[in-house]
Amino acid sequence: MRPMPAVPMPLTLGDLRRACTHAAGARQRLAGTVAEYHNAGVAFGVSSGRAALWLTLRALHRTRPDRGKVILPAYTCPTVGRSVVEAGLQGACADVSLDTLNIDPGAVAEAIDERVLAVVAPHMFGVPCDVTALQKTCREHGAYLIEDCAQCVGGRWAGQRVGTFGDVGFLSMGRSKNVRGYEGGVVWANRPELVEPLREEFEQLPDARVSMKHKLKQAAITVLSQPRPWAMAKRLPGLKVGAEDQSFDPHPSKLADWQAGLGLISLGRLDEFNERRRELASALRNALADVDGLHCQTVPDQAEPTCLRFATRLTRGQPGARDGLVTRLQAMDIDARAFYARPMPEYEWWQTGDGQPAFGRAAETVRSNLILPLHYAMSEPQITRLAQAVSAGVNTQAWRAS
């Protein structure tokens, strides 16, 4: 079977060369393009998505220093929670839906109070969350809504682009995101009165440190993102392919122009590759529809996803069954993974002033999630083979008894 890495969009060494050659002014061009794409007044390019959230929280806290609490999903990328902690704010969690894997608006409504500065709403795995319900709750309680579009740039809710519902939106340009770069992030304001607080925080950031080491690393990532090199790279423990990242940006800065140039290239291809992944996701969903014991992430009727990854959950089996299936699929060079090792409150660095509940649905998602790759170059026969491999793994007696 041809290797199946989870690469949302190709970048080539030629793209890297063009980004470096035409770097001058690229950060401003990218910020302007992202702002226009989201019908926002202004955007700012920074060194990472986590730095974008950190900067946003610092700016918002300046406008409402009496509020220091931030609500986010109990199941999401740990770097989201880490950015809250690094901003010096108190984290709080709301449980998620087992169907959509997104933050549950009802749980947010129960958790929110007059101490809440903001609610962070990621669109998990490229499926938009119910931003209209979250928007209503935030407005009723005087809290800001921050849309985390790191996995869903170009997605829509009720026909409107995600990233336009929140008071602020941001994206990441990490190598696993649907707007790819080397690293980087962009943040934009949807409310005019928030432009200056964001700008003031942005202007305090240092300029990016540009080195040949970063460009060589991007060249390596570009090569290793192709199917066969990826299959070799993931076997090298020093590269930590697929390892969970809990870190914060060690040097928040303004975005380097050459990195912004890569973002502009991938943004120009975004709609094409979002559509391709939707086609792949539809075919895979149909192929997995009859697999007993496997639940595919629900896409609400109002949502047009980007399908960054194909999220599923195992709904039966003993503890450890999912991990056994991941091992089986990885041995076949299928980049299936369990995403996020713990509910947010269980990370050692998490800080909260409240005795929060266990968040049972988030804990169940951590235990049972199985995230499948949607490589942009996958063919129909590969989709069929992927579905067959997953089905065989779910239905083996060894899996049932594990």
Same domain, 284 and 186: no
pLDDT tens column, 24-46: 999 999 999 999 999 998 999 99
Are the C-beta atoms of residues 182 and 13 closer than 8 Å to each other? no
Q: For residue 67, is it within any domain? A: yes
CA distance 297 to 290: 14
- pLDDT attached to residue 397: 43
Buried b (16+ CB within 10 A) or exposed e, 249-269: beebebbbbbbbbbbbbbbeb
- pLDDT attached to residue 94: 97
Are the C-beta atoms of residues 100 and 295 closer than 8 Å to each other? no
Q: For residue 74, is it within any domain? A: yes
Same domain, 312 and 197: no
Same domain, 193 and 280: no
> Which residues form the domain of 291?
270-401
Q: For residue 365, is it within any domain? A: yes
CA distance 371 to 317: 17
pLDDT tens column, 201-241: 999 999 988 778 888 888 887 877 777 777 776 666 655 55
Provide the number of structural domains found in the chain: 2
Of 167, 186, 203, which marks where a domain is finished? 203
pLDDT tens column, 261-318: 999 999 999 999 999 999 999 999 999 999 999 999 999 999 999 999 999 999 987 7
Q: For residue 214, is it within any domain? A: no
Which tokens is 305 given? 């996803």
Same domain, 199 and 275: no
Of 157, 178, 203, which marks where a domain is finished? 203
Same domain, 181 and 46: yes
Buried b (16+ CB within 10 A) or exposed e, 323-339: ebbbebbeeebbbbbbb
The CATH number assigned to the domain holding 188 equals: 3.40.640.10
Per DSSP bridges, beta strands 310-314 and 369-372 are antiparallel
Same domain, 181 and 290: no
Same domain, 179 and 39: yes
Of 152, 180, 203, which marks where a domain is finished? 203
Q: For residue 215, is it within any domain? A: no
Q: For residue 231, is it within any domain? A: no
